[in-house]
């Protein structure tokens, strides 16, 4: 076996850790998985998460800073997408996670569907704002 040992690249390791940290949040993982399937606007992504648009935008900003998503503007809407490399990263993470748990791939040889995708199909409805009553005057 010809195993090559790569020399340590501190800057490269820091960038890799930044990418892994960005993916480590369940909401961002779900966003990335959806964005490898199709390009979507923030409103659709917020609905998918069952979160507010502002919170979803914060997640997207972190993913964009890590270089994991691209965006384009069309009128007043911004559409996001993730490339094949991101999809490969997510699939590899799923395979590693399943190997750690002792699970194999599906009978068709494809990796099993990540739990985040299963949850995506049964996403919670968007949260509603609560209205506070003014404090009673004494």
For residue 67, give the CATH number of its domain: 1.10.10.10
Give me the count of residues in the chain: 138
What is the C-alpha separation between 40 and 112, in angstroms, rounded? 24
| pLDDT computed for residue 124 by the predictor | 47
What is the C-alpha separation between 32 and 28, in angstroms, rounded? 6
Q: Is residue 81 part of a domain?
A: yes
Q: At 90, phi and psi to the nearest 5?
A: -65, -40
Q: Is residue 2 part of a domain?
A: no
Q: Please give the residue range of the domain that contains residue 54.
A: 17-105
Domain tally for the chain?
1
pTM: 0.66
| pLDDT-flagged residues of the chain (< 50) | 107-111, 116-129
| pLDDT computed for residue 8 by the predictor | 75
Reported as a single tens digit per residue, the pLDDT across 18-43 is: 999 999 999 999 999 999 999 999 99
DSSP state letter for 35: H
Q: Is residue 115 part of a domain?
A: no
Which residues are CB-neighbours of 126 under 8 A, at least 6 positions away? Answer: 46, 47, 50, 51, 52
């Amino acid at each position: 076996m010809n195993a090559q040992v790569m020399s340590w690249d501190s800057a490269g390791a820091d960038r890799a850790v930044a990418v892994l940290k960005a993916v480590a949040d369940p909401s961002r993982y779900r966003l990335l998985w959806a964005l490898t399937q199709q390009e979507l606007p923030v409103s659709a992504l917020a609905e998918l998460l069952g979160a507010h648009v502002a919170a979803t935008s914060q997640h997207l900003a972190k993913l964009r800073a890590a270089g994991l998503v691209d965006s384009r503007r069309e009128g007043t809407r911004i559409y996001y997408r993730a490339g094949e490399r991101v999809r490969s990263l997510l699939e590899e993470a799923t395979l590693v996670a399943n190997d750690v748990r002792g699970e194999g791939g599906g009978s068709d040889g494809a990796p099993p569907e990540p739990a985040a995708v299963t949850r995506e199909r049964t996403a919670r409805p968007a949260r509603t704002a609560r209205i506070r009553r003014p404090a009673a005057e004494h």
